Amino acid sequence: MVAGKVKKPGKRGRKPAKIDLKAKLERSRQSARECRARKKLRYQYLEELVSSKERAICALREELEMYKQWCSAMDQGKIPSEIKALLTGDEQKIPQSSAGTKAAKNSRNSSAGAVQS
């Protein structure tokens, strides 16, 4: 008892408003639909991300294999034609491989850096 008043347990705060049960169920269903749609979009995004990363990994593995072949050829005393082309600066002789495009990009970047200096 506080100041002559008797407290009733569990009767604190505002009384809950009487919400139409059908409206409440419909809001719940709509919320569930939206949640499923967000989940679907998230999974699609992640699947696309994984597939792009897998493609990048495959390209890097191919490039690594090419470099391994070049190294083994140089160990045997042979100089691959791609490396000869890189050393002579003759980009037209370079086959259309990932290394060739990177070499072309590197040469463009170095020449662009020289222009900016």
pLDDT along the chain (117 residues), means of 10: 59 68 92 98 98 98 94 90 84 53 48 44
Could you count the other beta carbons within 10 Å of the beta carbon of residue 85? 17
Residues with Cβ within 8 Å of 73's Cβ and at least 6 positions away in sequence, in order, are: 79, 80
Give the other-Cβ count within 10 Å of 73's Cβ: 14
Phi, psi of 89 (to 5 degrees): 80, 15
pLDDT score, position 40: 98
Cα Rg for the chain, rounded, in angstroms? 34
Tell me the domain boundaries of the chain: 21-88
